[in-house]
Amino acid sequence: MVSYSMNVYVLFIIPVFAEANLVSPYIKTKVIPELQTCTENTFNGVITHFENVSNIGCSERCSSHPICRRYMYDKESRLCTLFESGENCITHERVDNKLCYKQKSVCGATKCTRCPIGYYGEHCQHIIRDCKDGFDKELHPDRITLSYIQPVVNGPVVEAKCIFKLNGRLYIHFRKTDCLEVDFNKTFDEYANGFGNPVGNYFLGLEHIYNILQGPDRVLSIEFGLTTGLKAKGFAKKIQISSKDTGYKIYFDNFNPYSSGDSLTNLRGRPFSTFDRDNTSYICPERFGGGWWYKNDNVCSRGNINGKRVGNNFESTWHWQDDLGTNTSFSYIFMRIKVL
Ligand SMILES: *[C@@H]1O[C@H](CO)[C@@H](O)[C@H](O)[C@H]1NC(C)=O
Ligand SMILES: *[C@@H]1O[C@H](CO)[C@@H](O)[C@H](O)[C@H]1NC(C)=O
Ligand SMILES: *[C@@H]1O[C@H](CO)[C@@H](O)[C@H](O)[C@H]1NC(C)=O
Ligand SMILES: *[C@@H]1O[C@H](CO)[C@@H](O)[C@H](O)[C@H]1NC(C)=O
């Protein structure tokens, strides 16, 4: 839980309220179920709770809190929960008795007093391209946050996990056993556009990753938490992927298997394969149960981070060969990109 002094902000809350009374600054969004362990251990963005308030009272509390961007209201218990960022509300309880609202930009006649995270400018008219951009704009404290990003000008706005420190870190892939399982055995289009829930397990989407990688050179890190508590990671420098037309082929300078083992180097130059667009002659995506840059041989890949957590066999179960040993079990796996 984070605590912030509100005193500093009290003076300019009044015009925010006046504005809020004219036009509701909230948009109704979704309530999404998630496991309690996921939201507690990773990120949930909760600021605080208020008991026994009305829905309007809850929106007023969000409007008057300097970092609130979203709130969840329980119609039965009248519990009000404020969140600092994000598109949808997550709960490990029932979803049908809850409502979620996200704040639009809160703007007066001449300027905005707060923008959704990722947007900036006097009228919230700009949006960061990725987490590196958010770092440059000094948008937020240095912990994990949910942010809107727009990888390509006038393109779609997507929600992602970001860290706005050390040049920015963007989570493009996230799987944790504490979170609700998301099936990664998806179609090519789903891998292109992204899937899952950015609060928990998700994949950002190859098209967004492609657009982000058009900027300065990036490093891709693949990081693993083992069920033993140990951690491992590896880095691929100057990571690039080709366009959708050419199958999102993966390129990088070298993979440094820092402590993870190298299951990536032999896939350099390979296009991305899914069960519905398989560039291998060995039905790799079907066997492995997820999309990847599989090699066109019977081994397919020495690593599988998109397989089942509990598969029918070794191949289809998530693993990463070499140094870690072939039967290591993971508590989490994620991939991030950062500027070199
Ligand atoms: C909840 O709020 C209502 C109206 O403000 C009040 O009448 C009631 O006593 C409150 N209940 C509790 C348990 O605080
Ligand atoms: C894989 O894609 C390449 C073009 O990128 C194509 O030439 C090749 O025939 C494809 N192979 C399979 C097995 O789909
Ligand atoms: C992945 O999905 C495809 C298409 O539904 C299916 O044929 C394949 O068996 C699945 N793979 C696994 C490992 O479940
Ligand atoms: C993993 O462990 C299982 C059960 O102990 C074993 O049958 C299997 O061969 C192992 N897989 C590899 C690739 O070592």
The finding on whether 271 has its CB within 6 A of some atom of ligand 2 is: yes
CA angle 124–59–92, rounded 5-degree value: 100
What would the pLDDT profile of 267-300 be if each residue is shown by its tens digit?
999 999 999 999 999 999 999 999 999 999 999 9
Ligand 4 atom having least distance to the Cα of 319? 13
Residue 7 DSSP code? G
282 CA to centre of ligand 2 in angstroms: 13
What pLDDT score does 43 carry?
Answer: 65
How far is it, in rounded angstroms, from Cα 84 to Cα 306? 30
> What is the whole-number distance in angstroms between the Cα of residue 186 and the centre of ligand 3?
9
Give 307's contacts (C-beta < 8 A, 6+ positions apart): 184, 288, 289, 290, 315, 316, 317, 318, 319
Q: Whose CA is nearest to atom 2 of ligand 4?
A: 327
Between the CA of 207 and the centroid of ligand 2 the distance, in Å, is 19
User: CA-CA distance, 330 to 175, in Å (whole number)?
Assistant: 10
Domain spanning 3-107: which CATH class is it, in words? alpha beta
| Alpha carbon of 279 to ligand 2 centroid (Å) | 5
**Domains of the chain: which residue ranges?**
3-107, 172-339
Fold category of 172-339 in CATH: Gamma Fibrinogen; Chain A, domain 1 (3.90.215)
The confidence band for 6, taking pLDDT boundaries of 50, 70 and 90, is very low
CA 314 – ligand 4 centroid, Å: 7
Which residues 6+ apart lie within 8 Å of 147 measured at CB? 85, 117, 118, 128, 131, 134, 139, 140, 159, 160, 161, 162, 164
28-32, 157-161, 256-260, range with the lowest pLDDT: 256-260
Closest-approaching ligand to the CA atom of 329: 4
Each residue's pLDDT tens digit, 84-126: 888 999 888 999 999 999 998 888 888 888 899 999 999 999 9
> Is residue 128 a contact partner of residue 149, using CB atoms and an 8 Å limit?
yes
pTM, entire model: 0.88
- Chain position carrying tokens 């008057």: 64
Other residues' Cβ atoms within 10 Å of the Cβ of residue 126 = 15
pLDDT at site 22: 36
Burial bucket for residue 294 (CB in 10 Å: 0-12, 13-18, 19+): buried
Whose alpha carbon is nearest atom 1 of ligand 2? 279
Mean pLDDT of 127-137: 93
Confidence class for position 2, pLDDT limits 50, 70, 90: very low
Out of 288, 312, 314, mutate this one to test ligand 4's pocket (max ligand atoms within 8 Å of CB): namely 314
Among candidate residues 144, 156, 141, 149, the one with its CA nearest the CA of residue 118: 149
